[in-house]
Structure 1
Amino acid sequence: MDYNDIAKKLKTNLNETRYLHSLSVSDTATTLAQRYNIDQHKAKLAGLLHDCAREIPTSSLIDAAKEYHIPIGPIETCQPILLHAALGAILAQKKYLINDTEILDAIKLHTTGKADMTDLAKIIYLADMVEPHRRYDSINHLRDLIKNSTLDIVMIAAFSESLSFIIKKGQLIHPQTVLARNALIAKNICHG
């Protein structure tokens, strides 16, 4: 199945706003991949499919995750919406016939991240945050950083922004996000 076939199929499974967001993330991921010398085709596909499970009702996410043996911890139990990323990786494989593990991993990690992410996974996490339809106070800072900084430095800022947003909302912080940020700081700032 090529990109256009996947996009047509995806359009029938997402509401219009989510579909447009997915197209925008795909375009943004492609641009970021070019900027950071990463496979643009993989970025385009992963960006398109990153939210392919987002239309599963929140009330059904835990049952769907159990069906596919996705680990459900206390954070996912409290905030089941996080499960759409892992479910998305499974749907991308089963429904859209994506077998590239790097693409599937990027889809799986686009909400929480993790330590030692691939550059493709970083691109998808970042593209989801900075695509043109997104609006929040510090978005221009992230967009400016992209122009002048390494991918890791931009990701530290992106994780910091995510953590700040989660804290302001009074939600639980996923430890994978903290570990991802810490690993990048240790590698790029502490030189650990």
Structure 2
Amino acid sequence: MEREKALQLVKEQLTEHRYQHTIGVMDTAILLAKRFGADIKKAETAAIFHDYAKFRPKEEMKEIITTQGFPLNLLEYNSELWHAPAGAYLVEKEVGITDREVLDAIRYHTSGRVGMTLLEKVIYLADYMEPGRHFPGVEEVREIAQDNLQRALIKSVQNTMIFLLKKNQKVYPDTFYTYNDLVNKLED
């Protein structure tokens, strides 16, 4: 799908602020894909559609998670996680994108997963560190991402878990397992 058509489809689903975030994620994903050898077109596509379901009604997302074989325990955690799997499903059904790598990068961009692919890592990190993001720790992740995708990803997942813990919020198990998997695979 051509970039402009994809962006137009997404723009219809998002607020202006979230659309600008999407542009930042797209630009960052392309940069990271070039830097670390991921498929640039797939990174662009997954980045454009990563928040496709962000503003869908919670009941619609809950219905998709319940009926489409996604882990039901997801519903016990913050609803901010729901738009990723719901988005992967809706992008396939409504937009017609069937590339499993792209859909999985959308699906796991909020939680991560054990055994993340290079594309999944690029989209997760691009969403975390796009230029419009301003919060404690993001500059350090941007700096690390200049030359080490794995370490930048570890730091971003670590920061996310610390943020949740400080707010007395539950950490989704897949995020915790993602962190452990990334640390176990770290090559010095």
1:35 counterpart SS class: helix
For 1:76 and 1:145, how far apart are their aligned partners in 2? 33
TM-score, reference length from structure 1:
0.91
For 1:186 and 1:71, how far apart are their aligned partners in 2? 24
Instruction: Tell me the matched-pair count.
Output: 188
Match of residue 98 from structure 2: 99
2:113 counterpart SS class: coil
1:1-192 counterparts in 2 under 5 A? 1-73=1-73, 75-148=74-147, 150-188=148-186
TM-score, reference length from structure 2:
0.93
Identify if the C-alpha distance between structure 1 residues 160 and 77 changes in structure 2 by more than 3 Å, giving closer, same or farther: same
Q: Which runs of 5+ in 2 are unaligned?
A: none
For 1:107 and 1:173, how far apart are their aligned partners in 2? 19
Over the aligned positions, Cα root-mean-square deviation in angstroms equals 1.6
- The structural deviation recorded for 1:78 is 4.1
For 2:79 and 2:101, how far apart are their aligned partners in 1? 24
| Bigger Cα displacement from structure 2, 180-189 vs 138-147 | 180-189
The letter for the 2-side match of 1:162 is T
1:188 counterpart SS class: coil
- The structural deviation recorded for 1:32 is 0.7
For 1:23 and 1:96, how far apart are their aligned partners in 2? 18
The answer (yes or no) to whether the contact 2:53–2:84 under 8 Å persists in 1 is yes
| Bigger Cα displacement from structure 2, 64-73 vs 39-48 | 64-73
The answer (yes or no) to whether the contact 2:77–2:172 under 8 Å persists in 1 is no
- The structural deviation recorded for 1:65 is 2.4
The letter for the 1-side match of 2:90 is L
